[in-house]
Structure 1
Amino acid sequence: MAPTPSSTPGSPPAPAWTPALRLLADRPLVVLTGAGLSTDSGIPDYRGPGAPDRRPMTYQEFVSGPAARQRYWARSHLGWGRMRRAAPNPGHRALARIAPELLITQNVDGLHEQAGTPRLVALHGRIADVVCLGCRTTSARAALHDRLTELNPGYAERHAAAPVRPDGDVELDDTDDFVVPPCEHCGGVLKPDVVFFGENVPPPRVERCYAAVEGLARAGGALLVAGSSLTVMSGLRFVRRAARDGTPVVILNRGATRGDPLAAYTVDAGCSEFLTELAALRS
């Protein structure tokens, strides 16, 4: 990593992220975002400093039987009631102004879409959508939320203190009395239209992301990672592809990441502050 530039005598010291900003100032960009980008919107992340150990339900567990789905939907119903009120923060809005060649997000909260980012791949889907595992009909999460509220009167009020988790659910063990409705079309099992652990990201999404990252090498661009620890391969693979192609990588994250050895610069800072400054620099 390059050293921090020296300041003019008598001037404030240059921010440690100045070299990274200079690298990103006028290049074509692909941006990969993770949960750390949404913490300023009140949504906790998985692996930031001080974050508790969180293990999301796997796909195999979800389809194992009614009890697992009851547990999932009880927690998710409460979390969704709070998460859907979240709004884009300055980091989301800065990325919308930057308008990268492609924004790849590992987040399912839909806040990049709300901010107006023009070219976007929601790698893991969107928590605002629901799919039936039987007939594959998709529907709006808001409609299911209303059904769940009607079937479980007073449930949200009884568990109002349950802490929110990053995937739009809450910490809750008492779920035995929660009623989960079937698909209205075929009576099948309903699942949020997101990629669970144990599922694969749909190949067309992955191919579009690889194509954008590979295009950076031809265009003299850079890959910016914002708010991801790169713990899971679904995001790390794009960092590896960029590094293989000789494309510079900048990683902006609170704490270390699996991609740090491949980065030209690592910036341990808040996403909102850095991205706001980058958007101003590129405007």
Structure 2
Amino acid sequence: MSSSVHHFLTEFNQLLTEFNQHRRWLVLTGAGISLSTGIPTYRNDQGQWIRSTPIKHHEFIQNPTIRKRYWARSILGWPSVANATPSNSHIALAKLERQQRLTGLITQNVDRLHQQAGHQQVIDLHGRLDRVRCLQCSSFESREQLQQRLLTRNPFLLHISGLTAPDGDASFHDPQLEESITEQLQPVPCLICGGTLMPDVVFFGGTLAKETHTAVQQLLQQSQGVMVVGSSLMVYSGYRICKQAYQEGKPLLIINRGVTRADELASLKISGDCEYTLQQLVENTCINDPL
């Protein structure tokens, strides 16, 4: 047996022991859990940016040119999310929920893959990319329907491709091409009131809705421990959950192949593959009576 395999088995046995000591676990997931589905992450294993800084919340709302740039890239990037299917990690967590080992799941992702995998109790911490919201009348429209309206109004984009980027975004090797596309793009308005449409997500720099924060707190109160899967926790909204669990004396388990912001707070950190670790956890965990 190699030293790496022995190290993993030692850590996994510790994870299994800790997990089975408590009945009520809250799971927090990040971009790493969707990486194998073809949706890239923002950061590398060291927690450093590997792409250009994303659009800020206030920039989208206040700057029409920023909005045009977002939609120009999103038209090309949306199919990467629309066509993605749940990974083995999503499926494993849905199985743990069915085994009644979880009080709920909070995801920092906006891809809705947990729901596709059959997970029932999910808080989309940063919103959902599969719909857009009008900034004027607050009505919703499906992102897929909007995609068709955008392409109908901007048919030149049918013949342009970009590089897949996180959260349904796209990037270009040639900055001049991006500028040209942005200038040509014709946005489409809200079908109800003609107002400005925005993806139903919290961009970087935005704040969580009060009801989201309340729902998170309720799950934390019901849980005996927190398990993080596939997140560097560099975004404060996710790190804050871990920090609160630590302050309340609840165990914090982290499964992430790179460094995280909460490594020093963790009861146990496994720097391994999320999918394999979760599959092993499902196969070896104790199934408790209903909560």
What TM-score, normalized to structure 1? 0.90
CA positional deviation for 1:26: 5.1
Q: Which amino acid aligns with 1:224?
A: M
Give a deviation string over 1:141-187, Cα, whole Å, max 9, x none.
111011011111141432x2x21111211013232211111112111
Aligned counterpart in structure 1 of residue 11 of structure 2, from 3, 13, 16:
16
5+ residue gaps, structure 1, are: none
- Is 2:229 aligned against 1:226? yes
- Aligned counterpart, 2:165: 165
Cα distance, 1:102–1:13 mapped onto 2, change above 3 Å: closer
Aligned counterpart in structure 2 of residue 274 of structure 1, from 272, 277, 284:
277
CA positional deviation for 1:13: 7.9
- Is 2:199 aligned against 1:196? no
Determine if contact 1:78/1:169 at 8 Å carries over to the other structure. yes
- Aligned counterpart, 2:141: 139
Structure 1: distance between partners of 2:156 and 2:284: 50
- Is 2:41 aligned against 1:45? yes
- Is 2:191 aligned against 1:184? yes
SS at match of 2:35: helix
Matches within 5 A, 1:29-178: 29-49=25-45, 52-99=50-97, 100-158=102-160, 160=161, 162-172=162-172, 173-174=178-179, 175-178=182-185
Give a deviation string over 1:250-270, Cα, whole Å, max 9, x none.
111121111011100111111
CA RMSD of aligned residues (A): 2.0
Identity across aligned pairs (percent)? 38
Q: Which amino acid aligns with 1:53?
A: R
Structure 1: distance between partners of 2:82 and 2:270: 30
Structure 1: distance between partners of 2:120 and 2:68: 37
SS at match of 1:147: helix
Cα distance, 1:262–1:165 mapped onto 2, change above 3 Å: same
Give a deviation string over 1:197-254, Cα, whole Å, max 9, x none.
22211111111112211322xxxx2210001111011101110111111100011112
What TM-score, normalized to structure 2? 0.87
- Aligned counterpart, 2:175: none
Determine if contact 1:45/1:166 at 8 Å carries over to the other structure. yes
| Structure having the larger proportion of residues in helix | 2
Structure 1: distance between partners of 2:282 and 2:70: 38
CA positional deviation for 1:278: 1.0
Structure 2: distance between partners of 1:13 and 1:157: 47
5+ residue gaps, structure 2, are: 173-177
